[in-house]
Amino acid sequence: MTSQFEPLHSPAAERNLQPILAELQRILPAQGKALEIASGTGQHVAGFAQGLPGWHWQPSDAQPDAFDSIAHWCTQAGVTNVQAPVVLDVLAPAWQLETVDLVYCANMLHIAPWACCAGLMAGTARHLAPDGLLVTYGPYLESGVTTSPGNQAFDADLRQRNPAWGLRLLDDVVHQALSVGLQLRERVALPANNLLLVFAR
Ligand SMILES: C[S@@+](CC[C@H](N)C(=O)[O-])C[C@H]1O[C@@H](n2cnc3c(N)ncnc32)[C@H](O)[C@@H]1O
């Protein structure tokens, strides 16, 4: 008996795709080369490739398990501006990549050890074009801002699953970025208490 291929589907990725895409369409020029870190299911890269047709997208993830799923969503979206996904662990001391105009990373920093933030920043600094952008998306803790009950519960759940995981303090992420010469240019509040952060040199 042959098994049926089931693409990975994230309801959250389906919900937040359009709000994130709208921000990318606002902040990005018409064309460029983008690297997606931690692509997961591939729903984001497929939607972004459709909504930003002048951009060439390179999906990646530390785990290759979802690469068929990424290909599925891109085929279903009918896009041809997405490269085959590559294995990329942000902790690797060297990323086998050319220079890019955008590094995009959603929902990784809290589901990975804190060292991955330093890895993301260092790798971005190595591969980002002089006028390129780093965009991150996800839930963060902010000093002086009351954390929503939903994010508090999410943080507790993450830490119970893995003590090295958990929502990151925005100040710590900004500090890590500054250490490699990236400054926070924009903080955009998106639905469900998530933030889109834009960093530039
Ligand atoms: C919650 S998923 C997010 C997927 C997608 N970006 C989204 O927003 O729906 C987290 C992803 O981070 C990836 N990841 C975890 N550690 C990583 C690392 N060290 N380098 C690159 N990706 C990593 C996981 O493999 C997983 O696909």
Q: Catalogue all structural domains in the chain, each as residue range(s) with its CATH number.
A: 12-200 (3.40.50.150)
30 burial class (0-12, 13-18, 19+ CB within 10 angstroms)? exposed
1 C-alpha to ligand 1 centroid (Å): 32
pLDDT of residue 97: 92
Query: Could you tell me how many residues make up the chain?
Result: 201
pLDDT of residue 5: 87
Q: What is the mean pLDDT of each run of 10 residues along the chain (201 residues)?
A: 83 97 98 98 98 98 97 97 98 95 98 98 98 98 96 98 98 98 98 98 97
28 C-alpha to ligand 1 centroid (Å): 23
pLDDT of residue 67: 97
pLDDT of residue 84: 97
pLDDT of residue 4: 82
* C-alpha–C-alpha distance, residues 104 and 91, integer Å: 16
Ligand 1, residues 108, 168, 194: which to mutate, most atoms within 8 A of Cβ? 108
Calculate helix-pair angle for 115-127, 170-178, nearest 10 degrees: 40
pLDDT of residue 183: 98
27 C-alpha to ligand 1 centroid (Å): 23
